[in-house]
């Protein structure tokens, strides 16, 4: 069983925010049917797992403002366990998970009205579980039916995502350690895919995107990862210009680039790495020029990622480098686009770089947490988009703090476009690393896979 100490500590921290007479209800994810007699591989709800470390389906956590915790879980059933596997069961749960009490899930509807009675506020995650609000309302109806006997029904319902998101946004030492391990596994998977591509092409063999995808999955599971953190992107040639492309049957051709965006999940935590490499192990001149530009923009973003900086600072640093580079490579015509400052002001870079430079990373690959300081929510300023004339709202940006984890992932995607040198057509390049914010800057925990062009070529020759 997973070490429960960080989970008990998190429950205590959350309970202190519920109010003395508050109570929180947190379900895990439901099992989902894939087809007639098969379910999708179960994956727990991140909020529930964050507070319990319990990965079984069909479970609920109830947390009271005084810190008392109650788990509802599947009862022991030796016959079902023959088919579905071991169950912890409510008798063993208190000691194994450091909860105060545990009940069979079959008792949930009977016990919840009793637990909610005489509470002032009930907390649960809004808009995350279909039907949860209705379930809570049904329990409250049962409490209201006892008002004539002196029962008090909670008058307030509040969204638990607020305090939980703030807690999850700053990772503790345990979480960062798991994420380092996940990133190391994913880095080895990227190396495996790179080397397979070069080796098979040297041997004259047919290489497909799904071959590289298979190498990623093999390395993930070989090193103990439970799942991919998301559907792996393996995009050869022009497919790399499709941002959310999925590995398919397309051939990996000698002379083309391959973009792989893939990361594993380990013990509930995601990694997220993107590398772009020459399929045969050797960049062409135009490929190298565009790659070095994207890498330079990432270097600028990394330098801008530090405690006290804004979340938007890495993106702005990236855009400044890309804007000048697009002019230098004549992908943008200076006679039309003007200076780098003009390119930024007019967003002329947008057809080639249309996404942000990063996102939060944690239990979810696009992790929870506001990108705006809580004290500044509601504040905004407005400006006109110089291209469309539409009004754009500029919201305040989050201030980075030690322990926050985010991705840094600039890219350029050049589709066949009039006025753009043909040598750059169909080149899609993205470089992504996972960064832990520290007091002095940031730690890139995913650099177990090379990022410099020379190092990638040396790796693929090996």
Element (H, E) at 293: helix 285-303
Give Cα 352 distance to the centre of its chain.
Answer: 24
In the residue annotation, 261 being an active-site residue is answered as: yes
Q: What is the pLDDT of residue 374?
A: 82
Q: Which of 11, 188, 211, 430 is catalytic?
A: 430
Catalytic residue among 366, 454, 455, 461: 366
Confidence (pLDDT) at 395: 64
* Set 10, 129, 359, 398: catalytic member: 359
CA distance 364 to 46: 7
> Could you report the per-residue pLDDT of 236-284, keeping only the tens digit for each?
999 999 999 999 999 999 999 999 999 999 999 999 999 999 999 999 9
**Is residue 79 among the annotated active site residues?**
no
Supply the pLDDT for residue 393: 56
- Write the CB contacts of 134 (distance below 8 Å, at least 6 apart in sequence): none
Q: Tell me the mean pLDDT in the region 65-70.
A: 97
- Answer yes or no: 254 catalytic: no
Residue 388 has pLDDT above 50, yes or no: no
- Section 376-393 average pLDDT: 52
Q: Which of 272, 364, 367, 434 is catalytic?
A: 272
Mean pLDDT of 170-182: 97
Is there a catalytic annotation at residue 355? yes
Catalytic pick among 45, 56, 219, 432: 432
Active-site entry in 50, 245, 353, 413:
413
Residue 365 in this model has a pLDDT that exceeds 70: yes
Reported as a pLDDT band with limits 50, 70 and 90, residue 377 is low
Q: In this predicted structure, what is the pLDDT of residue 372?
A: 94
How would residue 357 be classed by pLDDT, with cut points 50, 70 and 90? very high
Active site includes 37?
yes
For 59-116, the DSSP string reads -EEEEETTS-EEEEEPPP-HHHHHHH-----TTTHHHHHT-SEEEEGGGHHHHHHHHH
Catalytic residue among 409, 433, 434, 457: 409
264 beta partners? 228
> Residue 394: what pLDDT?
62
Render pLDDT for 122-161 as a digit per residue (tens, 0 to 9).
Answer: 999 999 999 999 999 999 999 999 988 889 999 999 999 9
> Does 418 participate in catalysis according to the annotation?
no
- Token pair of 148, please? 């004539």
Residue of 209, 261, 265, 313 with catalytic role: 261
Contact (Cβ atoms closer than 8 angstroms) between residue 224 and residue 307: no
CA proximity to 210, closest of 246, 261, 186, 262: 246
Question: What's the CA gap between 264 and 39, in Å, rounded?
Answer: 21
Strand, coil or helix: 302:
helix
Mean pLDDT, the chain, integer: 94
User: What's residue 385's pLDDT?
Assistant: 46
List the catalytic residue out of 246, 355, 395, 447: 355
Please report, rounded to a whole number, the percentage of residues in the chain having pLDDT higher than 90.
92
Q: How far is the C-alpha of 130 from the C-alpha of 122, rounded, in Å?
A: 18
- 419-448 average pLDDT score: 97
Q: Lowest-pLDDT range, 227-241, 296-310, 389-403, 442-456?
A: 389-403
Is residue 366 part of the annotated active site? The answer reads: yes
Tens of pLDDT, residues 235-244: 999 999 999 9
- Do residues 88 and 99 make contact, with C-beta atoms less than 8 angstroms apart? no
User: Helices 209-222 and 173-202 meet at what angle, rounded to 10?
Assistant: 140
Mean pLDDT for the stretch of residues 99-105: 98
**386 has pLDDT over 50:** no
Query: What was the pLDDT predicted at 380?
Result: 54
**8-state DSSP, 281:** S
Task: Give the residue, 62 or 36, on which the prediction is more confident.
Answer: 62
CA dist 152 and 146 (Å) reads: 8
């Amino acid at each position: 069983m997973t070490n429960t100490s960080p989970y008990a500590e998190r429950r205590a921290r959350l309970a202190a925010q519920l109010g003395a007479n508050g109570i929180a209800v947190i379900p895990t994810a439901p099992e989902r049917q894939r087809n007639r007699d098969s379910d999708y591989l179960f994956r727990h709800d991140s909020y529930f797992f964050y507070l319990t470390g319990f990965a079984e389906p069909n479970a609920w956590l109830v947390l009271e403002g005084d810190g008392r915790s109650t788990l509802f879980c599947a009862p022991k059933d030796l016959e079902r366990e023959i088919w579905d596997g071991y169950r912890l069961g409510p008798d063993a749960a208190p000691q194994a998970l450091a909860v105060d009490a545990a009940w069979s899930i079959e008792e949930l509807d009977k016990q919840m009205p009793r637990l909610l009675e005489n509470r002032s506020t009930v907390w649960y995650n809004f808009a995350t579980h279909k039907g949860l609000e209705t379930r809570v309302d049904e329990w409250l109806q049962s409490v209201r039916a006892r008002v004539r006997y002196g029962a008090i029904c909670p008058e307030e319902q509040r969204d638990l995502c607020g305090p939980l998101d703030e807690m999850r946004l700053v990772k503790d030492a345990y979480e960062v350690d798991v994420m380092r391990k996940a990133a190391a596994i994913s880095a080895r998977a990227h190396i495996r895919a790179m080397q397979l591509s070069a080796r098979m092409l040297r041997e004259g063999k047919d290489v497909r995107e799904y071959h590289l995808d298979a190498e990623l999955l093999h390395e993930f599971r070989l090193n103990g990862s439970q799942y991919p953190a998301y559907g792996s992107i393996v995009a050869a040639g022009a497919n790399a210009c499709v941002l959310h492309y999925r590995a398919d049957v397309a051939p990996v051709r000698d002379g083309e680039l391959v973009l792989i965006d893939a990361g594993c999940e380990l013990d509930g935590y995601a990694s997220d790495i993107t590398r772009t490499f020459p399929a045969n192990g050797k960049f062409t001149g135009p490929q190298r020029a565009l790659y070095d530009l994207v890498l330079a923009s990432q270097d600028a973003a990394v330098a801008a990622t530090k405690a006290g900086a804004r979340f938007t600072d890495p993106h702005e640093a990236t855009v400044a480098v890309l804007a000048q580079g697009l002019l230098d490579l004549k992908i943008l015509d200076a006679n039309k686009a003007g200076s780098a400052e003009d390119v930024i002001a007019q967003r002329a870079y947008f057809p080639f770089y249309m996404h942000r430079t990063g996102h939060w990373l944690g239990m979810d690959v696009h992790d929870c947490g506001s990108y705006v300081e809580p004290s500044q929510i509601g504040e905004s300023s407005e400006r006109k988009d110089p291209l469309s004339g539409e009004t754009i709202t500029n919201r305040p940006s989050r201030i980075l703090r030690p322990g926050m984890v985010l991705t840094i992932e600039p890219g350029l995607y050049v589709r066949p476009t009039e006025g753009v040198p043909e040598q750059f057509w169909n080149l899609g390049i993205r470089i992504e690393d996972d960064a832990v914010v520290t007091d002095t800057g940031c730690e890139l925990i995913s650099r177990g896979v090379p990022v410099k062009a020379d190092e990638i070529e040396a790796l693929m020759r090996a």
